[in-house]
Amino acid sequence: MTRSRTRSPLTLLVAGLVLVACWLAGCAGHTPTGHSHSTDRPAPQDRQAPPSGPGPRLQDPPELVSRDGVLKAAIVVERRKVQVGNHRLYALTYNGRYMPPTFRVRPGDRIDLTMTNRVDEDTNVHVHGLHVSPRSPADDIFIAIKYGKSHHYTYRLPRTVTPGTYWYHSHADMMSAAQVAGGESGVIIVDGLGRYLPPSLRGITEHVVAFKDFQIHGDAIKTHGLTIGAATNRTVNGQQNPVISIRPGETQLWRLANIGANIYYRLHLKGTRFHVIAQDGYPVRRVYARDTLIIAAGARFDVLVQGGRPGSATLETLAYDTGKAGNTFPRTDLATVVTAGTPMTPARIPEDFAPNQDLANAAIADRKTVVFTENAAGDEFYINGRKYAPDRVDFTSALDTVEEWTVRNDSDEEHSFHVHTNQFQLMSTNGQATDPDHRWFDTVNVPARGNVVIRIPFTDFTGRTVLHCHILNHEDMGMMAVLDIVPPRTRGK
């Protein structure tokens, strides 16, 4: 791994003082508020909000952990004035927090979740990426929880559910962007990655590193008239530029999750490589390392990070352009990584990791084409020429089959493709075959004027669900379609 340059004694003293100060400072990360849709095009004067310098020590969200195979959780949605990054703002909160509890479960567990709505908009919740039933009382995204009402969800995780990082968020029809931008999102962890790690890397320090951003309108998080390219405040676990501490040579597990509404991250940490062990909740067959990771809207990576020489470095998102009809996101500081303390001998990063299913030679029951388009104004979005209609079935697939889909992007901006219920194998992007060691996803970026080819195994569950662009402004303005998974006696069309 590339090391940062040697620091002077004065630099080391400053880094040590920063480390002590950040541990004493504590945490201040919590929530946002919600409403409405919008256009995507940035105004010419829009600029990223300026960074504010190193903040407090990174705080992992509180956890709700399963016991004896069951996770019991209660989530209250309400509008509160809370600490959001460096501001106190009205926000849509889960249990009074901008960064709500992490659900930690194991394969085969049951999640019993009661959601109570105390805001004046309908809401609901989707467990993003989890292989669970799309039917009530599980991951039914077609329900609407009214003001003052509660809804009880029960999700039974198959024992075959893959370990890694997932998330939960509002999926209210035509209001997902507003409510997620307002704060309605949190992290889910399915334990089990440790069994693929060598003994020397079991029980290592682990951090949730969840990215959310907010725009401000008065004393509230802006959601009405939300514009993707406008100036925004990026947070890590609801904190602005927190300090992440690591010892020289130490290996940590970071759970990177883009749980905001619309924007992308091009993640970089100078002198450090991200060793990817899982993506979108699916362990890789062979570990791969990257200096930079593109984290599209809705995507996640589980990575191993090793501390270098003592000192500090900036975890940043580099400038990223989604195309001439899209947005240009500027370079921004996200966190300060301070390397200090007693050095450790760097552990060997594994090469071979976890077994993977391979659909390369699977019998293909059907082939489908999904086409993303949009109008010139950027305020209407389509799948196969039609805007979303919840009562219309757009695609039908049969249980116990494998299908091959071509997802074609006929627009001049990138889109983040996501399908509910089942993960998929990415076969190619723009005709280039995907590395077979790491090609399972639930969310994948589709290049402007490009395409991806995926194969989906329909297993375990039937029912109506959806596929959509996970840039939630685009979803709310039409770029979503209904998929009906039917019993195997009925052929898909």
CATH number at residue 411: 2.60.40.420
Is 481 within a domain? yes
Is 358 within a domain? no
Check whether residue 347 and residue 389 sit in a common domain.
no
Q: What domain range is 47 assigned to?
A: 1-353
What confidence score (pLDDT) does residue 33 get?
28
Q: Which of 353, 378, 412 is the last residue of a domain?
A: 353
Check whether residue 72 and residue 173 sit in a common domain.
yes
Q: Which of 353, 378, 413 is the last residue of a domain?
A: 353
pTM score, whole prediction: 0.90
Check whether residue 155 and residue 53 sit in a common domain.
yes
Check whether residue 338 and residue 376 sit in a common domain.
no
Check whether residue 115 and residue 204 sit in a common domain.
yes
Is 492 within a domain? no
Is 109 within a domain? yes
Is 412 within a domain? yes
3-state SS, the chain, equals CCCCCCCCHHHHHHHHHHHHHHHHHCCCCCCCCCCCCCCCCCCCCCCCCCCCCCCCECCCCCEEECECCEEEEEEEEEEEEEEECCEEEEEEEECCECCCCEEEECCCCEEEEEEEECCCCCECCEEECCCCCCCCCCCCCCCCECCCCEEEEEEECCCCCCCEEEEEECCCCCCHHHHHHCCCEEEEEECCHHHHCCHHHCCCCEEEEEEEEECEECCEECCCCCCCCCCCEEEECCECCCEEEECCCCEEEEEEEECCCCCCEEEEECCCCEEEEEECCEEEEEEEEECEEEECCCCEEEEEEECCCCEEEEEEECCEECCCCCCEECCEEEEEEEECCCCCCCCCCCCECCCCCCCCCCCEEEEEEEEEEECCCCCCEEECCECCCCCCCCEEEECCEEEEEEEEECCCCCEEEEECCCCEEEEEECCEECCCCCCEECEEEECCCCEEEEEEEECCCCEEEEEEECCHHHHHCCCEEEEEEECCCCCCC
Check whether residue 391 and residue 331 sit in a common domain.
no
Mean pLDDT of successive 10-residue segments in the chain (493 residues)? 35 40 34 32 38 79 98 98 96 98 98 98 98 98 98 98 98 97 98 96 97 97 92 97 98 98 98 98 98 98 97 98 97 98 96 96 98 96 98 98 98 98 98 95 98 98 98 98 90 45
Give the pairing of strands 432-433 and 364-374. Answer: unpaired
Neighbours of 176 (CB within 10 A): 27
Is 476 within a domain? yes
Check whether residue 153 and residue 292 sit in a common domain.
yes
How many structural domains does the chain have? 2
Check whether residue 418 and residue 339 sit in a common domain.
no
Q: What's the half-sphere exposure (Cβ side, CA atoms, 13 Å) at 423? A: 24
Check whether residue 334 and residue 371 sit in a common domain.
no
Check whether residue 136 and residue 251 sit in a common domain.
yes
Check whether residue 326 and residue 398 sit in a common domain.
no
Alpha-carbon distance of 284 to 385, in angstroms, equals 35
Check whether residue 345 and residue 420 sit in a common domain.
no
Q: Which of 353, 384, 402 is the last residue of a domain?
A: 353
Is 67 within a domain? yes
Is 359 within a domain? no
